[in-house]
Amino acid sequence: MDFMNFMDQDFDVKLSKAVKEDTMHEKMKEEMKEKMNDNMTDKMRNDMINELRPLAMAYIPMQKWGTIYDPAKGLKQGTIFPDLDFPFLGREMSSK
C-alpha cells in the first residue's frame, strides 16, 4: 500500500490494519512494529503517526462531525461548525 493512500479520514485505522497485515512500506513497517502496542493511548498513537509522516508533505486532519451552531448563528459566523469558526481578529491568536 502506498503511503499517500493513508492520507484520509481513516488514517490511523488503516495504518494499524496495514501494520498487522504486513502491507506497508518496509521501512515504515519496521518503525511502526517497533513502537506500536495495544496499550497505547490515542494521543500516543497520534504523536507516533505524526512523527512518521514524511517531511514537507502537507496534511490536513479530517473534520469530525460535532455540535453545530443553530442556522441563524451559523449565517452570522460564516460557518455552522464551531470547529471551523476562526474569526479574523487582525492580531495574533491566543489559545481559547
**Chain residues in the site for other proteins (CB under 8 A):** 9, 62-63, 65, 68, 71-72, 74-75, 79-81
3-state DSSP assignment of residue 25? coil
What nine digits make up the cell of 79? Answer: 460557518
Q: Toward other proteins, which CB reaches closer, 10 or 21?
A: 10
Say how far apart CA 34 and CA 22 lie, in whole Å: 13
Q: How far is the CB of 67 from other proteins (least distance, A)?
A: 11
Q: How far is the CB of 23 from other proteins (least distance, A)?
A: 23
Q: Toward other proteins, which CB reaches closer, 66 or 90?
A: 66
* Most distant pair of Cα atoms in the chain: their distance: 52
Q: Is 28 exposed, middle or buried (0-12, 13-18, 19+ CB in 10 A)?
A: middle
Q: Toward other proteins, which CB reaches closer, 46 or 79?
A: 79
Q: How far is the CB of 4 from other proteins (least distance, A)?
A: 17
